[in-house]
Structure 1
């Protein structure tokens, strides 16, 4: 059984041991990074059963990714080791006060070879929900069609689907990115754009206009991330605003959006009938609040997922705005 299935590429992440820039640092640390695995880590910490589907190289980097995910309780039995293509790598360096800079080495990686022929019905067996991002379509020649077909087959097997555009402009040109991402929106039930991604897709508009236009494309729920201001949700003629949660110091913003998605989906999945109209109107405000907390807390650690909170930590924070640590 799985609460959520997620499909996408994970990479081995290298970053300076002492922070700062890469150029002159003598030591790098290694860990695991990738939007879909970040979500998987976040959901398992919240007590959810997650099935992660991907392709890694038959190399030490792929072994590290599989061992790390399995060690955190994620089901990796549907991940494939590709003997002919490597595991992707990426490097990250701090750029104070802006977001970190990242450098990808993922061309011709194992996950970039995904095609529709690889999809298996057992990926979705005994699962409730599929989560995909806009990163996978950008990886290879056939990965956009692969992502779309996975969404279609998941829905045919009774799963609901969430889609985070997770725009990565270094991976493809703007015209292609906009066209492909817009084409995928009708196949999801929950759409999770950031405010800047919404502007990229639709041009400059108000938040309300974004919500209305995205809902008209097919999703039942649009949950839009607004950064420090929190988030705003749209569904069935209702609009819900959830204020952001202030943290003392932002260490690393990478992965915060994935933590937001994990918090939102965990809360929505508390209900057996995920997208009953009355249910979603009742549950979306709390889901946005939890998502804001998980997203904010994820920025407190250096790493893409290491700061994801447990369910107990979220409960403590929601009850009194702070966590009891000793």
Structure 2
């Protein structure tokens, strides 16, 4: 296995009409989850990925598992829970610019993940473990599950990639800061957004924030700067990696997951971290041009074509 990740995936209902949800009569359904987005993206880019989670033993659980398995992701470590439901959430389009999201995930099957769900041998067989800050926010048992997975990875020499993916509504700021700092310190590579870095360390320059992650224990930091690209910091080198211009952003949700997958894909292909980050920038940009979390994720050919076309346009200008 190239990459293993773990976390909650839910069914997303989006009203087909704009305005208050109370007036909506029709909804479309999609699958959404940060970690499974990364697993699917890596699969499309030609890598072997596995996803660990819990789903309700219900129709939504079957829908999620079948969809992710259909994208070529290994779901052999997914547990079906007959005592809890699969999480769902709703997207309300008040206007094209104003969107509200309502989650129904409390006491979901995924929130009942526990350390016993982690098979150390499965983790040991991976080249990378990817975790986010969403999963430990779901429950204490989920936090213990993440710590177990990270511990298994470190004991077996599997590098850990951590995306803080801060969700303020899921926990208190004090608890979030404590847990995200701990996991950042255990990770080999941290992928924070600039807002997450400032949440953890306060306002400072990109260079200072990145250095604080390394002082906290990480070996390398790739800080996401939105359309500007990213800042890469390692003890041996550092530098900015330009982003890819997007004429019209259709849906920014999932761009960070695409970025993470692009970076990991580059590392799996033997690229240096800065060049792998360029691939991450490209995948993230492509995701924003399509509605949905995974609908815009490219395969390797589309990704290379996009990168080459953008580079050509830069030269022509």
Using the size of structure 2 for normalisation, the TM-score is 0.94
Q: Name whichever structure is richer in helix by fraction.
A: 2
Asked if 1:288 is matched to 2:287, the reply is no
Asked if 1:252 is matched to 2:251, the reply is yes
The question of whether the paired residues in 2 share the 8 Å contact of 1:92 and 1:102 is answered with yes
The question of whether the paired residues in 2 share the 8 Å contact of 1:15 and 1:22 is answered with no
Deviation at 1:322, TM superposition (A): 8.0
Please give the alpha-carbon distance, in whole angstroms, between the structure 1 residues aligned to 2:165 and 2:21: 25
User: 1:196-245 deviations in whole A, cap 9, x for unaligned?
Assistant: 11111111111000110001112221001001111111012421211121
Unaligned runs of at least 5 residues, structure 2 = 313-317
The question of whether the paired residues in 2 share the 8 Å contact of 1:99 and 1:252 is answered with no
Q: Secondary structure at the match of 1:231?
A: strand
Name the counterpart of 2:315.
Answer: none
Please give the alpha-carbon distance, in whole angstroms, between the structure 2 residues aligned to 1:98 and 1:202: 31
Asked if 1:310 is matched to 2:299, the reply is yes
Q: Secondary structure at the match of 1:29?
A: strand
The question of whether the paired residues in 2 share the 8 Å contact of 1:251 and 1:302 is answered with yes
Name the counterpart of 1:276.
Answer: none
Q: Secondary structure at the match of 2:66?
A: helix
Unaligned runs of at least 5 residues, structure 1 = 272-281
User: 1:106-163 deviations in whole A, cap 9, x for unaligned?
Assistant: 1111111122233222331421110000000010122222212210111212211100
Which stretch of the first structure deviates more once superposed, 4-13 or 17-26? Answer: 17-26
Please give the alpha-carbon distance, in whole angstroms, between the structure 2 residues aligned to 1:3 and 1:100: 36
The question of whether the paired residues in 2 share the 8 Å contact of 1:100 and 1:252 is answered with no
Name the counterpart of 1:136.
Answer: 135
Deviation at 1:90, TM superposition (A): 1.2
Name the counterpart of 1:223.
Answer: 222
Once superposed, what is the RMSD of the aligned Cα atoms?
Answer: 1.7
Deviation at 1:320, TM superposition (A): 2.2
Asked if 1:298 is matched to 2:287, the reply is yes
Which stretch of the first structure deviates more once superposed, 147-156 or 18-27? Answer: 18-27
- Equivalenced residue count is 312
User: 1:153-179 deviations in whole A, cap 9, x for unaligned?
Assistant: 112122111000101111111111111
Q: Secondary structure at the match of 2:23?
A: coil
Q: Secondary structure at the match of 2:22?
A: coil
Q: Secondary structure at the match of 1:54?
A: strand
Please give the alpha-carbon distance, in whole angstroms, between the structure 1 residues aligned to 2:74 and 2:45: 15
Please give the alpha-carbon distance, in whole angstroms, between the structure 2 residues aligned to 1:52 and 1:27: 31
Using the size of structure 1 for normalisation, the TM-score is 0.91
Which stretch of the first structure deviates more once superposed, 112-121 or 214-223? Answer: 112-121
Please give the alpha-carbon distance, in whole angstroms, between the structure 2 residues aligned to 1:19 and 1:307: 22
Which stretch of the first structure deviates more once superposed, 234-243 or 93-102? Answer: 93-102
Name the counterpart of 1:165.
Answer: 164
Deviation at 1:19, TM superposition (A): 5.5
The question of whether the paired residues in 1 share the 8 Å contact of 2:160 and 2:188 is answered with yes
